[in-house]
Amino acid sequence: MSAIYDVAADFITNKSLTASWDTSVILWDLNAGTEVGPLTCSGGGYGGCGHTVSVWRVVADFTAELALSGDSGGTLILWNLATGQEVRAITGGPSSIITDMSADFGLLKAFVATSDGSMVVWDLSAGTQVHAMSANYNPNQVQVDWDLLQAISCDNSGNLVLWDLDLGQEVRQIKPNVGKLVTCQADFPSMQAVTAGDDSELYLVDLSGSVVRTMTGHTNGIRTVVADFTAMMALTGSIDSTVILWDLSTGSAVHTLTSHLSTVQAIAADFSCMRALSTGNDGKLVAWDLDTGLQIAEDGSHTDRVTSLVADFSLGKALTGSRDTVAKYWDLGEAMTCAASPDKVRTNSQFYLDQAEHYQVPLVAELVRRMHVLARMPDGHGEPLQVGQYHLGEFYQPHFDSELSQNLRRAVTVLVYLDPPKAGGETIFPKHRKCQDADFADCCNRTELIAEGKGFWVRGKKGQAVVFYSHDLDGRHNPLSMHGSCPVLAGEKWVAQQWFRLEPYAGSPYFFPVADSAT
Ligand SMILES: O=C(O)CCC(=O)C(=O)O
Ligand SMILES: [Fe+2]
């Protein structure tokens, strides 16, 4: 094996992939520490099979057993990890270095940036280009929100670009300074991003088109940024060999971490438990406590630059890949393992009515009929009616009713308040990532936070209904449809809701397939 340029790993299935200078993509069994084998095709070897030049990027879905690798000649290969075989080589795009990419193996789409400035959305099932767009000089990093079908890229011309992957066009460019931008990360629902590069400043950007904050602290170019827009914190790694922890809401440097001897190339962090790993040209992997800014541990056993790092702090595992040709699998130990947080997405209970109840209970039939009229939806699109109950303190965090990555498209939701609570339990449309996870309850107490995200809330009265569309008329998912239910503060809350699918739905109580006359 030769120098490793990229790694992908999954610490539940315990598999990893390494992409290398020597043209190979190798699948590893992390438990055994052994090679499952190089990915190849039935013929074996590289004669028209597999990559023929160095492989720069690899991304994978180890549960779906699919991976995508991209090389320095612009070729992409889709792999079946169950068989270890090539599904297809995707060529015909730009023939320069694939600098970064993102794939969704449910949608079977990829967004790929090449050094010549091409940005291509590929259909991986057909191997065809869905959209070909062009960026500025050398896009270095991309990030995609496959639910919202939006992406960002940051490039050597110093531009942070927002892309609409559905329409296949650039939305806007933001140029914080003249220096090259090397790294960027966005939160699409809240339209925020961070980006940094050669001019050594970290920028907090509003993707609507402005630079919110410039953060000064590094004395040389920044190579990597990792941010958490719920915690409003970021970590940057620099050529100046330091890692800085930033408070994005004030712009201040909270801690400067100084164990590295040269450029920091990669960082992984979990801001919910304030743990991080950093690595880079000195070959060291350093474990940090972000609360204190102190080092927990370090290891210097890589003998050349570490190019890639992935970690799972809830399992306490990490993987590094290095130019020294070695990939190392790390057990991070108890001090670096974050206690698993319980599923906090929703605490209420809900159930669907069955098919018979739609026909036999006149009240249900009438309610559902009116919901169809209100939503202007034909029969055969509605899921069975669902009833939701919230006890004191129960809630439903902001979410979308459509789940695009599962191919679940709900065009419209009709929510009826059967019995509203005495206090709390508002349905909120926050459009603000601050209103998720830890800050969610806070948003329910502070109307200004919801207003800041240009959202609103509904305190439903008995018998009232809320109707909202998750997709525009052209089928596009609308990010403004994000919604949740605030905790019930007094009494109980009962709702009935009807989800209408974008397409006719066989699970609908009113779905009648056209009879097949041949049988
Ligand atoms: O109860 C509410 O107000 C919202 C419920 C909801 O969004 C859901 O169940 O998907
Ligand atoms: Fe919902």
CB 130 within 8 A of CB 168: yes
Q: What is the distance in A from the centroid of ligand 1 to the CA of 496? A: 9
Interface predicted TM-score of the whole assembly (ipTM), two decimals:
0.98
CA-proximal residue: ligand 1, atom 1 (nearest): 485
Q: What is the distance in A from the centroid of ligand 1 to the CA of 256? A: 43
pLDDT attached to residue 342: 40
| Residue appearing with tokens 């929703």 | 346
Model confidence pTM above 0.80: no
The values of phi and psi at residue 285, to 5°, are -110, 120
What's the CA gap between 325 and 442, in Å, rounded?
A: 48
Mean pLDDT per 10-residue run, the chain (519 residues)? 90 90 91 77 53 94 91 95 89 93 94 96 95 92 94 97 96 95 94 96 96 97 95 95 96 96 97 92 96 93 95 91 94 82 68 92 95 95 96 90 79 96 93 70 81 83 95 80 92 96 92 64
pLDDT attached to residue 486: 93
Which ligand 1 atom sits closest to the C-alpha of 497? 9
Where b means 16+ CB within 10 Å and e means fewer, 406-416 reads eeebbbbbbbb
Q: What is the distance in A from the centroid of ligand 1 to the CA of 109? A: 30
List, as ranges, residues with CB under 5 A of the ion ligand 2: 401
- Structure token digits, residue 4: 């490793």
In sequence order, which residues have a C-beta less than 8 Å from that of residue 161 and are 6 or more positions away?
Answer: 135, 136, 139, 152, 153, 154, 155, 170, 171, 172, 173, 174
- Where are the extended beta strands (E) located within 21-138? 25-29, 34-38, 55-61, 66-71, 76-80, 85-90, 98-104, 109-114, 118-123, 128-134
The DSSP annotation for 401-465 comes to: S-BGGGTB-EEEEEEEEEE--SEE--EEE---GGGSGGGHHHHHH-HHHHHHTT-EEE-PPTT-E
Q: What is the distance in A from the centroid of ligand 2 to the CA of 396? A: 8
Closest ligand (CA of 428)? 1
CA-proximal residue: ligand 1, atom 10 (nearest): 401
Q: What is the distance in A from the centroid of ligand 1 to the CA of 494? A: 10
**Residues within a 6 A CB radius of ligand 1:** 388, 396, 401, 415, 427, 483, 485, 495, 497
What is the DSSP pairing of strand 306-312 with strand 294-299?
Answer: unpaired
The values of phi and psi at residue 374, to 5°, are -60, -45
pLDDT attached to residue 438: 66
Q: What is the distance in A from the centroid of ligand 2 to the CA of 371? A: 16
**CA angle, corner 17, sides to 13 and 21, nearest 5?**
175
CA-proximal residue: ligand 1, atom 2 (nearest): 485
Q: Which of 298, 297, 293, 281 is nearest to 246 (CA)?
A: 293
Which ligand 1 atom sits closest to the C-alpha of 427? 3
Which ligand 1 atom sits closest to the C-alpha of 458? 3
pLDDT attached to residue 433: 62
Q: Which of 377, 395, 388 is nearest to 470 (CA)?
A: 377
pLDDT attached to residue 339: 66
Residue to mutate (ligand 1; options 386, 396, 492; most atoms within 8 A of CB):
396
pLDDT attached to residue 36: 77
**Greatest CA span in the chain, whole angstroms?**
76
Residue to mutate (ligand 1; options 350, 394, 495; most atoms within 8 A of CB):
495
Closest ligand (CA of 484)? 1
Q: What is the distance in A from the centroid of ligand 2 to the CA of 376? A: 19
With 0-12 CB in 10 A as exposed, 13-18 as middle and 19+ as buried, what is 218? buried
